[in-house]
Amino acid sequence: MDTLRDKTVVVTGAASGIGLAMVRRFAVAGSKLVISDIDGAKLKQALGEATELGASAVAMTADVAVESQNQALFETAIENFGQINVVCLNAGVQGPMGQSWSLSKDDYEWTLGIVLGGVINGVRTFVPHLVDHGDGHVVVTASVSGHVASPFNAPYAIAKHGVVTLAESLFHELQMEQSTVGVTCLCPGSVKTNIANAAAALAPGSTGSTKGKLGSQILEISQRAVEDGLDPETVSGQVHDAILGRRFWLFTDNSWDDPIAARAGEIAERLQPRFRAPNFG
């Protein structure tokens, strides 16, 4: 694929943050857009922006965790544009934070259902179509949290490790099929979006809430990192270029390179795991 002009691009989690920035970037590139999110009101605004930028676009409210809603999104895209070229499986939530033993089964299931289940649903729904016509690319939004084991963040980090593994499995399988479909595994560091605020906004005690004092403190730290993070527009530019460049790994910055390399070294040497903070310097 040497241009995104006139290609049909599906984006999940398109109403905010990185997904919304992708919508803007692809609209400017001349793509046809199928945008989706669980938040219908914000999605409507995103659709307005995309059309103002000149894109031919449709929007559909859908929950990535529900298989049938992924299928409905696929059908909407095909009905409107006939073919899908790029799928950005991007929707995600921070989920509850706290000690792994203090979080409830619901906390784990809710986070895993969206963050990992959403990508599994997306791959199963969209990839067969891309493989059939061959002119396609899958962008999976993982995280640096899919490469290191951070404390107090087990549901999210487990899910993101799964997303990284799924992206790599998919890549190997497509290579073995000699498919021309490409894969990009987007691993953002900190990006200035609504993700940490969305977690804080959930009612305490409800499924998906942030648990207890420790959880709140950790959430505060992650909110600060996100506030100081990269502009989502920078990330969407990187995504655009990674698709055209057929790049698999897309790290948005290098602040987690040392902890990731150190972890790999510890595993090779059979050393005890050590938690290392990223280098934001």
Ligand X SMILES: NC(=O)c1ccc[n+]([C@@H]2O[C@H](COP(=O)([O-])OP(=O)(O)OC[C@H]3O[C@@H](n4cnc5c(N)ncnc54)[C@H](O)[C@@H]3O)[C@@H](O)[C@H]2O)c1
The gap between the terminal CA atoms of the chain, to the nearest Å, is: 36
- Least separation in angstroms between residue 30's CB and ligand X is 23
38 binds ligand X (CB under 6 A): yes
Of 2, 99, 80, the closest CA to residue 35 belongs to 80
Name the segment binding ligand X (CB under 6 A); options: 75-83, 88-96, 205-213, 237-245: 88-96
Residue from 47, 170, 191, 218 touching ligand X (CB under 6 A): that is 191
Phi first, then psi, for residue 62 (nearest 5°) are -155, 150
Q: How many residues at the interface with ligand X, by CB under 6 A?
A: 30
Cβ nearer to ligand X, comparing 19 with 155: 19
> Which residue of 22, 114, 174, 219 would you call a contact of ligand X, by CB under 6 A?
114
Please, which residue, 38 or 181, has the CB nearer to ligand X?
38
Mode of pairing for the β-strands spanning 86-89 and 137-141? parallel
Quick one: which segment of 8-16, 97-105, 210-218, 268-276 binds ligand X (CB under 6 A)? 8-16
C-beta separation of 59 from 48 below 8 A = no
96 binds ligand X (CB under 6 A): no
| Long-range interactions of 156-159: CB distance < 8 A, separation 24+ | 156/94, 156/95, 156/97, 156/111, 156/115, 158/108, 158/112, 158/116, 159/95, 159/111, 159/112, 159/114, 159/115, 159/116
CB of 181 to ligand X, least distance (A): 21
Stretch that binds ligand X, among 95-103, 186-194, 242-250, 272-280 (CB under 6 A): 186-194
Q: Does 143 bind ligand X (CB under 6 A)?
A: yes
Letter string b/e over residues 206-228, b meaning 16 or more CB atoms within 10 A of that residue's CB: eebbbbbeebeebbeebbebbee
- The residue within the footprint of ligand X, chosen from 7, 11, 19, 103 (CB under 6 A), is 19
Binding site for ligand X (CB under 6 A): 12-13, 15-19, 37-39, 42, 63-65, 90-93, 114, 141, 143, 188, 190-191, 193-195, 198, 226, 229
